[in-house]
Structure 1
Amino acid sequence: MTALAPYLPAPSPALSAEDQEALTDLYVRGTPANTLRAYERDLLYITAWKSARFDLALRWPETEATALAFILDHARDLNDAPHEDRALQAAEALIAQRLRKSLSCPAPSTLDRRIASWLAFHRMKNLSSPFDSPQVKQARAKARRAAARPPAPKSAHPITRDVLEQLLDTCRGSRRDCRDRALLMLGWASGGRRRSEITGLMREDVSLKEFEKTGVVWISLLETKTTTKGETPRLVLKGRAAQALVHWIEVGGIEDGPLFRPISKADNVLKRRLSPDAIYQIVKHRLRLAGLPEDFASPHGLRSGFLTQAALDGAPIQAAMRLSLHRSMAQAQKYYDDVDIAENPAADLLG
């Protein structure tokens, strides 16, 4: 990362070189790593799109005409567009660069995220954004409504308790098995943790002071998608999940550093942390060993499965949210609604 990156603050003549470097460092430390990665992906996409569409580099500030063209190009299906259509040609160039998957209309959430990144780049350069103009704002709203579709679930199926037990049954006695058992149980039982939250855990984030006496392990998350540093409440791990985590710490010899780490083919624990993609591979591997399709669920199934199981067991939604750390009651309620409607007696009126 350099101070020249559009997602970092632009050089200011009012600041010394030392203060400018400090400001850049502040932006990096104050922005979640996932957001920085999203910025980089979106910047790559936007830059490639403008080059393919207009044969021009990005401008700062960008023009309203370019902003409108970006919205229009991503607000329609291009599969039946004529060959001379510039939007089609740009999309095909992006597909060739593996930056776009198909000619179909992208999801509104994808368009919103890329525009939000573009807006952020302008703010960091202390510039007005073309996406703030009335006409562009209205076009964006119309595009969102025209392409409205039900949100696709992040996991094909929730990993409810019975599915989790099938995955745990594949974890036998190796260090890899001990790690995966602890990872899956922590990811599920602590409220349905996201991949970045699991891989970001350090040994010092886990307190075993009460384990021998009460069987309870306390977990401190640095930050989550819905909480900031220093404001994330401690989470509790009990019973089998706590025992599995303590066993992994002992077997893996985890005295400090990353809590979950790669394991070599010789079953040796490495020093570096697992990547978020490794969590995906672990879930897929355990699904395959359990005799389930690899695409049956994704790591987000641990999160959706925890809330779905809480609803099935009759746990109050407020209690589940204290562990899942959902900020929106409406978002968490979706999992409860799916269970409630299936159990609704009115659904059986026909017999």
Structure 2
Amino acid sequence: MTSPLPLPTTLPAAEAEALSDLYRRGTPDNTLRAWERDLAYIAAWKMAAFDAPLDWPESEAVALRFILDHSLDLTSATGPARLAAEALMDAGLRRSLACPAPSTLDRRIASWRAFHRMKNLPSPFEAPLIRQARGRARRAAARPRQRKSENPITREVLEAMLASCDHSHRGLRDRAALMLGWASGGRRRSEIVALNRDDLDSRDFEGKGLIRIRLLTTKTTGPDQAPRLPLKGRAARAVMAWVQLARIDSGPVFRPVSLADRVLKRRLTPDGLREIVRHRLELAGYPPGFASPHGLRAGFLTQAALDGAPLPAAMQLSLHRSVSQAQSYYADVEIEDNPATDLLG
């Protein structure tokens, strides 16, 4: 994080710096980035709404106002809540006057609570009135679940994307990244680009056509629980072909490729992987916005459902903790085949 973490002001400078470093090393990069964005948003909102900086601990009145301001569609509203929202939009911190999604508000509140814990202070969001107001606001703003990808990248879509990959460095890299991301359980883009060469165990590749992928950090696990997932057949061969051609003996597995088709040393970014997915979908003939990188994850689970793979088996690879969340992909596929739909004949 570029901004300082909100740690206790009573700590000596050396201990505060050591604790800050511990938080950075012990917290996933995605969480740190979310904290940074949320801290900037919350501080800007407090200044716009109250003309005052954040207090530690924050008052219940401010916490309640935050919930109320973010539980309304302000498009046709007037008054302080709209003025604060417009100030946030001018600062590039808010997109519109529409009511934010409940999940967005939940995340910002969770971050604010985390900042209080960092300072070893009680959070106003634990107060019964505030908790009740948040529950009411969540129900009032409830909306249909929005998919992270417009469409899943099923096997048919993936095969069309892979057919666009030639034998250049760029083509081999894209083929390896897409196949690994899909076949290893639908990996998130942050997990794919975070892989290093020593995360690929290829000792069984020659004999069994198998490599094992170590995921040091995922959304649900840390380095102490790092899963090792199998990658077989075509996907394993694609990854090893890329590694060997690009002569990757150490460091990042997936890297940018220059216009001259030269493999660079730095790590591919999550946005770089997004561009790979967009480009390959376009070359495969799909319309703009057809799917996002999350389509690899959605596509793996959707294809598992289509092929009749048991949900627990798919979850072993996808690493979903929530059965209901993973089940949603199965439900979308299976509901038309449910015998109860034929009761009337």
1:275-290 paired onto structure 2 within 5 Å: 275-290=269-284
User: RMSD between aligned alpha carbons?
Assistant: 1.6
1:114-129 paired onto structure 2 within 5 Å: 114-129=108-123
Match of 1:214 among 203, 208, 216: 208
Cα deviation, residue 350, structure 1: 7.5
> What secondary structure, in the 3-state scheme, does the structure 2 residue paired with 1:34 have?
helix
**Contact 2:3-2:36 at 8 Å conserved across structures:** no
User: Using the alignment, how far apart are the partners of 1:18 and 1:211 within structure 2?
Assistant: 48
Amino acid at match of 2:123: S
For residues 142-180 of structure 1, the C-alpha deviation after alignment (integer angstroms, 9 at most, x for no partner) is 101111112200111110000000110110121001000
Change (3 A) 1:276 1:2: closer
> What secondary structure, in the 3-state scheme, does the structure 2 residue paired with 1:237 have?
strand
Tell whether 2:70 aligns with 1:74: yes
Which residue in 2 is equivalent to 1:165? 159
Which residue in 1 is equivalent to 2:37? 41
Q: TM-score, normalised by structure 1?
A: 0.94
Q: TM-score, normalised by structure 2?
A: 0.96
Change (3 A) 1:267 1:4: closer
1:100-111 paired onto structure 2 within 5 Å: 100-111=94-105
Match of 1:188 among 179, 182, 185: 182
**Contact 1:223-1:230 at 8 Å conserved across structures:** no
Cα deviation, residue 234, structure 1: 0.7
1:253-292 paired onto structure 2 within 5 Å: 253-292=247-286
User: Using the alignment, how far apart are the partners of 1:268 and 1:240 within structure 2?
Assistant: 24
User: Using the alignment, how far apart are the partners of 1:52 and 1:201 within structure 2?
Assistant: 42
**Contact 2:5-2:20 at 8 Å conserved across structures:** no
Match of 2:223 among 222, 225, 229: 229
> What secondary structure, in the 3-state scheme, does the structure 1 residue paired with 2:248 have?
coil
For residues 106-156 of structure 1, the C-alpha deviation after alignment (integer angstroms, 9 at most, x for no partner) is 110000000110111111111111111121111111101111112200111
Amino acid at match of 2:126: D
Q: Which runs of no fewer than 5 residues in structure 1 stay unpaired? A: none
Change (3 A) 1:56 1:291: same
User: Using the alignment, how far apart are the partners of 2:18 and 2:120 within structure 1?
Assistant: 17
**Contact 1:307-1:332 at 8 Å conserved across structures:** yes
Amino acid at match of 1:80: S
For residues 277-308 of structure 1, the C-alpha deviation after alignment (integer angstroms, 9 at most, x for no partner) is 11111111111111101200000010010011
Change (3 A) 1:17 1:45: closer
> What secondary structure, in the 3-state scheme, does the structure 1 residue paired with 2:212 have?
strand
User: Using the alignment, how far apart are the partners of 2:10 and 2:2 within structure 1?
Assistant: 15
Match of 2:309 among 299, 312, 315: 315
Tell whether 2:89 aligns with 1:91: no
Give aligned-pair identity as a percent: 64
Tell whether 2:12 aligns with 1:22: no
Tell whether 2:140 aligns with 1:146: yes
> What secondary structure, in the 3-state scheme, does the structure 2 residue paired with 1:219 have?
strand
Amino acid at match of 1:327: R
Change (3 A) 1:55 1:20: closer
> What secondary structure, in the 3-state scheme, does the structure 2 residue paired with 1:230 have?
helix
Which residue in 1 is equivalent to 2:8? 10
Cα deviation, residue 22, structure 1: 2.6
User: Using the alignment, how far apart are the partners of 2:13 and 2:132 within structure 1?
Assistant: 41
Tell whether 2:237 aligns with 1:243: yes
> What secondary structure, in the 3-state scheme, does the structure 2 residue paired with 1:315 have?
coil
User: Using the alignment, how far apart are the partners of 2:15 and 2:85 within structure 1?
Assistant: 41
User: Using the alignment, how far apart are the partners of 1:80 and 1:2 within structure 2?
Assistant: 36
User: Using the alignment, how far apart are the partners of 1:2 and 1:315 within structure 2?
Assistant: 44
Q: Which runs of no fewer than 5 residues in structure 2 stay unpaired? A: none
Cα deviation, residue 4, structure 1: 4.3
User: Using the alignment, how far apart are the partners of 1:152 and 1:339 within structure 2?
Assistant: 17
For residues 253-286 of structure 1, the C-alpha deviation after alignment (integer angstroms, 9 at most, x for no partner) is 1110000001111111111111111111111111
User: Using the alignment, how far apart are the partners of 2:164 and 2:340 within structure 1?
Assistant: 40
**Contact 2:216-2:227 at 8 Å conserved across structures:** no
User: Using the alignment, how far apart are the partners of 1:62 and 1:345 within structure 2?
Assistant: 54
Instruction: Count residues in correspondence.
Output: 345
Tell whether 2:174 aligns with 1:174: no
**Contact 1:62-1:129 at 8 Å conserved across structures:** yes
**Contact 2:246-2:263 at 8 Å conserved across structures:** yes
Change (3 A) 1:11 1:4: farther
Amino acid at match of 1:10: P
User: Using the alignment, how far apart are the partners of 1:26 and 1:93 within structure 2?
Assistant: 34
> What secondary structure, in the 3-state scheme, does the structure 2 residue paired with 1:145 have?
helix
Change (3 A) 1:168 1:72: same
Cα deviation, residue 338, structure 1: 1.1
> What secondary structure, in the 3-state scheme, does the structure 1 residue paired with 2:223 have?
coil
Cα deviation, residue 17, structure 1: 4.5
